[in-house]
Amino acid sequence: MSLRHLVAALVALNVALLAIGVVVAPGGPGGGGAAGGVDAGANAGIKVGLVFDVGGRGDKSFNDAAWLGLQRARDELGVTIQAIEPGDGSDREGALRQLAAGGSDLVIGVGFIFSRDLDRLAGEFPDVAFAGIDYAPDDSRPMPPNLLALRFREHEGSFVVGAIAGLVTRSKIVGFVGGMKIPLIRKFEAGYAAGVRHVCPDCTVLSAYAGTEPKAFADPTLGRELADSQYGRGADVIYHASGKTGSGVMAAARERHRWAIGVDSDQYDEAPCCVLTSMVKQVDVAVVDAARAVVEHRFAGGVRELGLAEGAVGFVSDARNADRLPADVVARARAIAADIVAGRIEVPSQ
């Protein structure tokens, strides 16, 4: 089959698969090309598959960062990519299995919810590399050797944006809206609250969660209600760690014209009037690095933790939010980040 006919066939396949949330894109010509001196098409035989977390693409946060990383892997490395977006209540293990059994060289699960599924499948497919974003280890058993856990020290970045909130607030009341009430999201809250109190000991930190089930990451209506309640109680800055639920937080910020702090990705475009900054989590970099390790035949399982020292978390300070982040606040935030890296500030994770 000619390259022209191959690309046409893949496009037709994508149209059919979109109905069930699957996208396939070849590396090299027709798949976005390859950058950085990579021979276009040389790695097209390497397949990288990814299954999205609750909320899926379009959350302008965690999942979209993973999708960006998958696209970068295609464009920079020339690999062929496939993504599956399970609907609510879908069989996520089945989606991972589909990728592993379908010839993927690397299968990535986005979100802690995949942890036990990845354990099982890595054991069943020892010749496939697996990676879990926000993977939660099972302390009762060792990890499979072909499974890479990519974990972030979100509490470090959250401490820094908490300090920013504490420096900017006028009411001395700030808020936090979490998605699912689990230890992972508690890390965001704990770091944020500690950062606020580091610079403003008499500030009050309000806290609310959207629920105890995975759907808590995909409820913008509830997110708006929770944020509106906190703004109504005097909060003038709210930080969210709630996935697509955070779209509701941004809506409340726009309506009230109060500050909001985004998460995972730069969420300025969600509310240009009102996003103070965002705590960025370089999920895209983690995805690209895992794919690169497979391409370069150096993939190894184990746990990799990423935080401020690795440049994997941080806050946004650029021309778009310079009008709301004074230079002295930015300087203080950077100094605090440096103190965390140097070990002069210990950040709580719970």
**For position 69, which CATH number holds?**
3.40.50.2300
Considering the domain architecture, whether residues 198 and 228 belong to the same structural domain is answered as: yes
On whether the pTM is more than 0.85, the answer is no
Considering the domain architecture, whether residues 143 and 287 belong to the same structural domain is answered as: yes
Quick: pLDDT tens for 290-307: 999 999 999 999 999 999
Considering the domain architecture, whether residues 189 and 330 belong to the same structural domain is answered as: yes
Domain-located, residue 349: no
Domain-located, residue 108: yes
Answer yes or no: is pLDDT of 13 > 60: no
Answer yes or no: is pLDDT of 58 > 50: yes
Considering the domain architecture, whether residues 91 and 202 belong to the same structural domain is answered as: no
pLDDT at position 6 is: 40
Considering the domain architecture, whether residues 13 and 120 belong to the same structural domain is answered as: yes
Considering the domain architecture, whether residues 266 and 294 belong to the same structural domain is answered as: no
Answer yes or no: is pLDDT of 57 > 90: no
Considering the domain architecture, whether residues 139 and 248 belong to the same structural domain is answered as: no
Considering the domain architecture, whether residues 70 and 176 belong to the same structural domain is answered as: no
Burial 123-159 (b: 16+ CB within 10 A, else e): eebeebbbbbbbbbeeeeeebbebbbbbbbbbbbbbb
Domain-located, residue 311: no
Considering the domain architecture, whether residues 35 and 158 belong to the same structural domain is answered as: no
What is each CA distance from 211 to 87, 128, 133, 182, 226, in whole angstroms?
19, 35, 21, 10, 11
Check if the beta carbon of residue 264 is closer than 8 Å to that of residue 158.
Answer: no
pLDDT at position 20 is: 39
Q: Which residue has the higher pLDDT, 27 or 69?
A: 69
pLDDT at position 130 is: 99
pLDDT at position 25 is: 56
Compute the distance between CA of residue 195 and CA of residue 161 in angstroms, rounded to an integer.
7
Name the residue range of residue 69's domain. 3-152+283-306
Quick: pLDDT tens for 112-161: 999 999 999 999 999 999 999 999 989 889 999 999 999 999 999 999 99
Answer yes or no: is pLDDT of 17 > 50: no
Share of the chain above pLDDT 70, in %: 87
Domain-located, residue 45: yes
pLDDT band of residue 91 (cuts 50, 70, 90) is confident
Please count the structural domains in the chain: 2
Considering the domain architecture, whether residues 164 and 147 belong to the same structural domain is answered as: no
Considering the domain architecture, whether residues 33 and 179 belong to the same structural domain is answered as: no
pLDDT band of residue 26 (cuts 50, 70, 90) is low
pLDDT band of residue 181 (cuts 50, 70, 90) is very high
Domain-located, residue 158: yes
Domain-located, residue 350: no
Average pLDDT of the chain is 89
H/E segment holding residue 341? helix 327-342
Q: Which residue has the higher pLDDT, 120 or 15?
A: 120
pLDDT at position 152 is: 96
Average pLDDT over every residue of 196-205: 99
Considering the domain architecture, whether residues 130 and 202 belong to the same structural domain is answered as: no
Domain-located, residue 38: yes
pLDDT at position 38 is: 52
Domain-located, residue 347: no
